[in-house]
Structure 1
C-alpha cells in the first residue's frame, strides 16, 4: 500500500484538530447533545459505572479513529465506499447497507430532537423544528467540503464554550447534589457493555468524515489526530453526564434531560443559548452524515464518468434523504428511536467495520510498514556498499 502524496498547504488545525471536531460533530447527534443517549447507555450503570463506560468508549474511539485514518491514508480512500472496497473487497456492500440504515436512523433522531426543542423552547408544533433542521442540513450539504468543514469548526467553538459554561453553572447551582450522588454506593453492572455498545455504533463517524483525511501529510498525522479525536468527542459528554448525576436516577426517564436540567437552573437566557447550541450540534451532525453520502456518490461519478457531483445534485440528494427520515422522526419519536435502533446498529458495525479494521486492516498496515522499511534498508545498502 502506498500512501498518497502530502497535501500542500494543510494547516496544523486541519491536520490534527479538524478530524476530532468532525468526528465529534457526527457522534454528538440528537441523543448525546440532549442527554438522551447518556441516560440510555450510561446512567443505568450508576455514576461511577457510567463514567467508566464513557472512558472505555473514548479509548475505543481513539484507537479505531487512529487505525481508520492511517488505513484510509495508506490506501488513498477518502470516502467510505473506497475505504470498504479496500478493507472488505466485495463485502463493501454489507457496510453500505448498514450505513444507509444508520443515516436513516440518525437523521430521524435529529429530526425528532429538533422537534422536541422547538416545542420545549418556543411552543411550536414539533414538525416546525424538524423542517427547519432539514432545510439547514440540505443547505450546508449543497456546497460540499468547504461548507461542511467550516460548520464543524465554528459550531465546535460554540459547543465547547457552552458546555464549559453549563458545567460551571451546574456546579454552582447543584454541586452538592452531584457530590452526594457520587458518594452513594450504586450498582455498576453492565458498564462495559454500555460503553462498548455506545462506542460501536458511534465510531462509524470515523469513516463518515474520511474527506478530512486529505489534509493529513503523514501517517503520524493520521495516528495523532485519531488519538486526539476520542477525547475531543467525549469531553463534552463527560461534563454533561457529571451534571446529570445531580438528578440521578429520576433523570433516566426524561425525554430531554438537557431541558430538564436547564429548567432547574432557572436561567432563561442560558436555557435558550443551550438549546440553540443543541440545534447547531444537530445541524453539524446531520450535515456531516449527508455529506458523506454525497462524497461517496461523487467518487463513484468521477470513476465512471470523469465528472463531479454538482451543487444542485448535492442539494437534491440531501433533500430526498431528509424528507424520508424526518417522516420517520415524526412517526416514532426520540426515545423509541434511540432505544430500539442504536443497539442493533452497534452489532452490525462491529461485524462489518470494527473487527475487520482491527484485524485485517491493522495486519495490512503493519505488513506495509515493514515492507517499506525493508525496501529503504535495501536501497541504502545498494547506495552505500560499505
Structure 2
C-alpha cells in the first residue's frame, strides 16, 4: 500500500512529462532544425531574439494549458467541440479554426517538400523544380503504401535530428563565442522590441496548429495541477532548445546571410564546422525527418477525407487513397514552388496572425475566464451535494 502511494506521484510526473514531450517533438521537427524559422522570427532582430523565443514558448504553453483544462474538465470529444465551447454562444465561429488548421497543414506539407527539395539542391546540385517533383513522388508512394512503416520509424528519425542539432548547437556556439558576446554587449538590434514581441506572438500563433494533437494526448492528465505541471515541463525543454538554436544562429547570422544561405542556415553552419561526420549525420537525419513529417501529415489528411461521400462510389480503398493523396500532394507541391523562405514568411506568418486572433488571445482571456468559472461552479456544486473527501481534494487540485 505504501509503495503504491509512493509510485502515484511518479506515475503522475511520467504522464505529465510524456505529454510535454509530444509538444517538444511537434515543435522541434524539420522546420525547427533547418534554422529558417528561428532566423525569420527571431535572429534577424538582434540581441532580444532569445527573450522573444522564451516569450513565444510561454504564450504557446499557456494557451495549450487552457485548451487541455477546457477539454478535460468538460469531457469533450473533439477539437471542434473545444472551439465551440470557447466561442459559445457564437459556436459557428469554430469554423475559423478549421480554416486555420487545414491551411496551416497544407503550408506545413509545402514547407516539408520545399525544405527537402532545398536540401537535395544544395547537397547534390539538383535543380529545385526536379527536387520538388522527386520529393513529391517519394511522399506520394510512401503515403499510399508505407505510411505505417514511416510512422513507426518517425520517433527514431526525430531522435536523430535532435541529437544532431544538440551537437551542432554546442559546436556552433563555441565557434562564435566572441561574436555572440559582442552582440549582447552592444545590444545589437535591427528593429524595435515591439516588432520582436509581435513576432513572438506570431510564432506561437502558427505553432498552435498542434492543439488537436495535444488535447488528444492530454486526456491522460486528470487534474488542473497535472496539466500545469506538464506545460511547465514543455515550456522549459522547448525554451532551452529554441534559445540554444537562436544563440547559435545569432553568432553566424552575418556569415550565412552574406553567403546567401539563409534558407538552410543550420546546414551551412555544419559545413563550416569542418566535421564531415556531423554534417552527414545532420543532412541524412534532416532529410528523413522531412519525409517522416510529410508522410504522417498527409496520411492524416487522407484518413479524414478518403471516406467523403463524393468518393463513396469507389469501392477500393487504395484507389480512394491515391485520389486524395494526389490531390493534397498537388496543392502542397504548388505551395512548395514558392520556396521555403516565402512559405515560412508569408504562409506561416499570415496563419500566425490568424492564430493570434482566434486562438492565443481568446484562450488567454475568455478561455481562462471560462475555465476558472466552470471549475469553481463545479466545485461549489459538488460541495453542496456531498462532503466526501474526494470533493474536498478537488478544491486543491481542480480535479476534472
Q: TM-score range by the shorter chain?
A: 0.7 to 0.9
1:272 aligns with 2:271: no
TM-score (norm: length of structure 1): 0.80
Offset at residue 56 of structure 1 (A) = 0.7
1:49 aligns with 2:48: yes
Select the residue among 308, 321, 332 that pairs with 1:325. Answer: 332
Offset at residue 261 of structure 1 (A) = 0.6
Q: 1:97 to 1:216 in 2, by over 3 A?
A: same
Bigger drift between 224-233 and 35-44 goes to 224-233
- 8 Å contact from structure 1 (residues 66, 226) kept in 2: yes
Distance in 2 (CA, whole Å) between partners of 1:17 and 1:261 is 32
- The Cα RMSD (Å) is 3.4
Q: Deviations over 1:233-269 (max 9, x none)?
A: 3432222221112223343452210121111112122
The residue number in structure 2 matching 1:4 is: none
Secondary structure (helix, strand or coil) at the match of 1:332 reads: coil
The residue number in structure 2 matching 1:22 is: 22
The residue number in structure 2 matching 1:7 is: none
The residue number in structure 1 matching 2:114 is: 112
Distance in 2 (CA, whole Å) between partners of 1:207 and 1:311 is 27
- 8 Å contact from structure 1 (residues 201, 345) kept in 2: yes
- 8 Å contact from structure 1 (residues 263, 271) kept in 2: yes
Distance in 2 (CA, whole Å) between partners of 1:11 and 1:117 is 42
Offset at residue 93 of structure 1 (A) = 1.2
Q: 1:51 to 1:165 in 2, by over 3 A?
A: same
Select the residue among 356, 361, 367 that pairs with 2:367. Answer: 361
Q: 1:352 to 1:368 in 2, by over 3 A?
A: same
Q: 1:324 to 1:60 in 2, by over 3 A?
A: same
Distance in 2 (CA, whole Å) between partners of 1:381 and 1:12 is 26
Offset at residue 208 of structure 1 (A) = 4.0
Distance in 2 (CA, whole Å) between partners of 1:18 and 1:323 is 35
Offset at residue 68 of structure 1 (A) = 1.4
1:216-227 alignment, distance < 5 Å: 216-227=221-232
Q: 1:39 to 1:66 in 2, by over 3 A?
A: same
- 8 Å contact from structure 1 (residues 16, 225) kept in 2: yes
The residue number in structure 2 matching 1:260 is: 268
Secondary structure (helix, strand or coil) at the match of 2:348 reads: helix
Secondary structure (helix, strand or coil) at the match of 1:203 reads: helix
1:173 aligns with 2:175: yes
Q: Unaligned stretches of 5+ in structure 2?
A: 1-9, 309-316, 390-400
Q: 1:377 to 1:147 in 2, by over 3 A?
A: farther
- 8 Å contact from structure 1 (residues 59, 230) kept in 2: yes
Task: Give the greater-gyration-radius structure (CA).
Answer: 2
Offset at residue 164 of structure 1 (A) = 2.0
TM-score (norm: length of structure 2): 0.77
Q: Unaligned stretches of 5+ in structure 1?
A: 1-9, 302-309
